Amino acid sequence: MTVQIDQHNQVGELYIPAKPWFGMSRLRRREAIDGMLMALPWIVGFILFIAGPMLFGAYTALTEWDIISSPVFIGFGNFRQMFTIDPRFWQSLKVTFTYTAISAPLHVVLSFVLASLLNSKAPFINFFRSTYYLPSILPVVATAVLWSWVFNPNFGLLNLGLATIGIDGPMWLSDKNWALAAIIIMNIMYVGPNMIIMLAGLQRVPIELVEAAKLDGANRWHLLRYITIPMTSSVIFLIVIFNINSSFQTFTQAFLMTGGGPQYSTYFFMLHIYNQAWVSFNMGYASALAWVMFVIIISFVFIHFRLSRLWVYSDVD
């Protein structure tokens, strides 16, 4: 096996030219086969459960299909109907965008605040960390039913608590002005995973850097602005992506608690896809809606990656 120095490599690393398959030794060929066999289950699963359904969904998005009969190709008719005829399409987009614009930043801020409070060596700190994380492992269905009782305007705990301080609580899930806010409040309980990720990021901040800044006269605001946030910006970047993705795909809470009402004030985009697919059996139109949601999420993620160059700090060149 010939080993040569790459002339373009400034650090003088060894460069081993790739050999064709039949030029490999028996050991290298065996290693390549083992690697492909190990990756094969993932490749098969990706083709069967991700790539295959996506391609089939792309085809059905161009058809009129009620699941029972054969699909009828109609070109871009579903998308034409979506943007020009269907009023629920724009309402579901409005609700989903509003929810994402409020819920995603709220989760980032709360996870940062909680992680900062729990990033200490106080007594029973592990207990408090577990307590804040525990609600996130509860079943969403059970949680939605529980919060429906909490938001009950007559005997719900929230309005009873507000009444003790002289505030007449709203109708919450029965009021179109408060129903979406109620779901946002409920979703706060799932801040636990984001908090754990943020806590890991805070613990990566070099203590030497913090102590050096204190010796130079930096106060808490200076430490937060010039050290903590820049050093955890990559973690914040990751949490923003997670929350954008999950917010756009919100379904269970609205489906169980409000059904999209009252007056479509909680009619999320995923709920619109579900109604078109499994209530109206308009699977072709539902596939077109799903692809629009896919494009929206990918666009937001792409924009987020592009903007990350302006504010995400990385110590890797």
Instruction: State how many domains the chain has.
Output: 1
Domain membership of residue 56 (yes or no) is no
- What does the pLDDT read at residue 8? 46
Instruction: Establish if 21 belongs to a structural domain.
Output: no
Residue 248 lies in a domain: yes
Rounded to an integer, the average pLDDT of 59-88 is 94
Please provide the average confidence, as pLDDT, over all residues in the chain: 89
- Residue 58 in any domain: the answer is no
The CA distance from 42 to 268, in Å, is: 32
Question: What share of the chain has pLDDT > 70, as a percent?
Answer: 91
237, 253, 238: which is closest to 95 by C-alpha? 253
Does pLDDT of 114 surpass 90?
A: yes
Query: In this structure, what DSSP letter does residue 262 have?
Result: S
User: Is residue 51 one of the residues assigned to a domain?
Assistant: no
* Mean pLDDT on 71-80: 95
Is residue 248 within a helix (H) or strand (E), and if so which, with residue range? helix 233-248
The amino acid present at 24, given as its one-letter code, is: M
195 with 111: CB under 8 angstroms?
yes
CA atoms of 272 and 293, how far apart (whole Å): 11
pLDDT digits (tens, 9 = 90+) for 24-66: 778 888 888 888 999 999 999 999 999 999 999 999 999 999 9
CA distance 180 to 243: 17
| Residues 288 and 82 sit within 8 Å (Cβ to Cβ) | yes
Residue 207: φ, ψ to 5°: -65, -30
Output the pTM of the full model: 0.86
Residue 21 has a pLDDT of: 57
Which 8-state DSSP code applies to residue 103?
A: H
Domain assignment of residue 145, given as a range: 86-311
d(CA 121, CA 124): 9
Q: Could you read off the pLDDT of 198-227 as tens digits, one per residue?
A: 999 999 898 898 899 989 888 989 999 999
Q: In the chain, what is the greatest distance between 2 CA atoms, to the nearest angstrom?
A: 84
- Alpha carbons within 13 angstroms on the beta-carbon side of residue 269 total 26
Q: Look at residue 1 and tell me whether its pLDDT is greater than 90.
A: no
Neighbours of 1 (CB within 10 A): 7
Higher pLDDT pick, 120 / 9: 120
Q: pLDDT band at residue 10, thresholds of 50, 70 and 90?
A: very low
| pLDDT given for residue 3 in this prediction | 44
Which pLDDT belongs to residue 316? 54
In whole angstroms, give the CA distance from residue 102 to residue 98. 6
Question: In sequence order, what are the beta bridge partners of 72?
Answer: 64
Contact call for residues 108 and 240 (beta carbons, < 8 A): yes
Digit-coded pLDDT (tens) for 127-176: 989 998 988 888 889 999 999 999 999 889 999 999 999 999 999 999 99
Instruction: Tell me which residue of 188, 183, 187 sits closest to 266, measured CA to CA.
Output: 183
Residue 79 lies in a domain: no
Q: Is residue 47 domain-resident?
A: no
Tell whether 38 is covered by a domain: no
What would the two tokens of residue 309 be? Answer: 């160059």
Q: What is the CATH number of the domain that holds 154?
A: 1.10.3720.10
